[in-house]
Amino acid sequence: MRITNKIMQNNSLRNINTNKELQSQLSIQMQTGNKLTRPSDDPVVAIRSLRLSTNLTKVTQYNEKNAEDAKSWMTATEDAIYAGEELIQTMYTLCNSSTSDDKNTANYQAALLQLQQSAKEFYDTGDTDFGGRNVFTGYRTESKLQFQAGETLEYRITEEFTLKDLQTRTHINTKDPNNTNPDGDIFGYTEAAGFTVDETMVVPEEYTRFRLAYDDLRDFSDQIDPYVPIFKYLNPADPAADADGYVSLGLVIKNSTDPGAYTPADDRAYLLADTGEVIFGKAVIDAMSALPNTTTYSIDYEKHEWVTGDLRPEHYFDCSVKTDKVDDGGNPVWLEYESGSKQRIEYDLGANQSLQVNTVAGEVYVHDVGRDVEDLEVAINQLAKLDDIVNSLEEKIASLSEGADLDAANLQLDAAKKAQSLVKDQVQKLFGSTMTSMKSYQDLVNLAGTNVGTRGARLDLIQNRLEGQQATFKELYINNNHKEIEDSTTELASAKLTYDAALSATAKILETSLMNYI
């Protein structure tokens, strides 16, 4: 094969250009500090770089985004929980100081006002949000824990309980047995009106109840809607059980002011719509007691009227809310909610590893805190009313001379003082029982706080591990991709020296042509 000058020239230019490209590549490596300018430079390094980059990106996401977001969420939750715990402690102290015998109605009313404000603030902490997301409302992070002003929704609620949730209470009955008083009580009427009042009419009535989460329920007085509150429990052995084994008992709707509201027939159960209490007859209690203590009972009821601060039932119970839509038969469509008590929000913190970050409302903000205060309010208001009656009767007696009117007024005063004494004793006992309850609520809140702290400690361990992984992957990625400037400089200088030598050699070789030999 004949080698011409043109071939030599082309080969020399190609080799010189290759050397120049090497200089360019080395120059870029020196400027960027990276081994690769394109994947084809070193496919093995490029593949390893992609894998390390993917792993580093994931670990960085877990450590700097997910873990930090989880920590902030749990910090907001923990702050709210411990703020609530302090309020419960305040309520406990108030109840404790109100159990002494030297307190009067004014003292009770002052304590009640403080309890009401503390309870309101306690539930307000439940509306804590993090980044616009409510932290105690499960998956419904856009929904507040409490109803806001102007919300009017119709709910059907299913509330469950067991025998341990039943309470024994005493109702001081001052109702007019002859039904001659338009206001329903026995005070303010004389013998001249055909009605003799005496202290035997003031009767303490012991009753067993389950206190629902809400009061002011729908009373169904119009009976327009065929839906009726139902009390039911699972007992397949009962002949009255349905195909699914459930025994159902329709609840008789009453108000606490109705005669006999707290003394149902043995085989009946009353739902007191105004106070939200279910009062059980003796035979019903006996039937329930014959079943295992773990038996779950449920009560279905409706509530249509809400006030600011009421807790939204979907965060606690299986329930449904009436919508504006109707079905083919013209009946309203009800949107069903699953209880928020099981709605766990988890953050991914690694491959196949997640951590729950949320605390659901039922773990902290139980209805009973506010309901205990409402029980106290009812009793204290009754005591204040009796105080007014006693004072009024004493003034009346002071203005009367001997005679039938004075005798009748004295009978009324004896009855009023008996009722006053019984109700005051009831108020003291309620403060005592509420104090005990507050201690249990405090334990509940502390447990929730401890659970958050435990998850936080686990998160710290996970973060430490993630930081170690992140540092390791970052080091591997740098070692795989990075090129030291000293190496790049040395190689660039060598390439430049080679380039210059190639130029010089090529110039000398190309100076000689075929003409020099002719």
Q: What is the pLDDT along the chain (518 residues), one digit of tens a residue?
A: 566 667 777 777 777 777 766 666 666 666 665 656 665 556 766 677 678 778 788 888 988 899 999 999 999 999 999 999 999 999 999 999 998 888 899 999 999 999 999 999 999 999 999 988 999 999 999 999 999 888 889 999 999 999 999 999 999 988 776 666 666 677 766 555 555 677 888 889 999 999 999 999 987 665 555 566 888 888 888 888 888 888 888 888 889 988 889 999 998 899 999 999 999 999 999 988 888 888 899 999 999 989 999 999 999 999 999 998 888 888 889 999 988 778 899 999 988 889 999 999 999 999 999 999 999 999 999 999 999 999 998 998 888 887 777 888 888 889 899 999 999 999 999 999 999 999 999 999 999 999 999 999 999 999 999 989 888 888 776 666 656 666 666 766 776 777 667 777 777 766 666 566 56
CA angle 125, 92, 452 (to 5 degrees): 45
Question: With left for phi above 0 and alpha for psi between -120 and 50, is residue 80 left, alpha or beta?
Answer: alpha
pLDDT at 479: 66
Q: Is 231 helix (H, G, I), strand (E, B) or coil?
A: strand
Give pLDDT, residue 293: 87
Bridge partner residues of 269 (DSSP) = 280
Which of 229, 233, 232 lies closest to 214, judged by CA? 229
Per-residue pLDDT at 33: 57
The confidence score (pLDDT) of residue 219 equals 77
Q: What's the CA gap between 388 and 382, in Å, rounded? A: 10
85: tokens are 């715990």
Q: Which amino acid is at 113?
A: L
Which letter, b or e, does each residue of 22-46 get, where b requires 16 or more Cβ atoms within 10 Å of its Cβ? bbebbeebbeeebbbeeeeeeeeeb
**Long-range CB pairs of 54-59, under 8 A, 24+ apart, other chains included:** 55/473, 56/470, 56/473, 56/474, 56/477, 59/466, 59/469, 59/470, 59/473
Q: Find out whether 77 and 135 touch, Cβ atoms under 8 Å.
A: yes
Look at strands 269-272 and 252-254 and give their pairing.
Answer: parallel
Residue 270 has a pLDDT of 92
399 to each of 392, 405, 407, 416, how far by Cα in Å? Answer: 11, 11, 13, 18
* Rounded Cα gap, residues 122 and 442, in angstroms: 12
Say what the pTM is. Answer: 0.82
d(Cα 273, Cα 172) in Å, to the nearest integer?
Answer: 19
Q: What is the pLDDT of residue 231?
A: 85
Strand, helix or coil at 376? Answer: helix
CATH of domain 34-145+344-482: 1.20.1330.10
* Cα→Cα distances 55→323, 351, 481, Å: 48, 11, 15
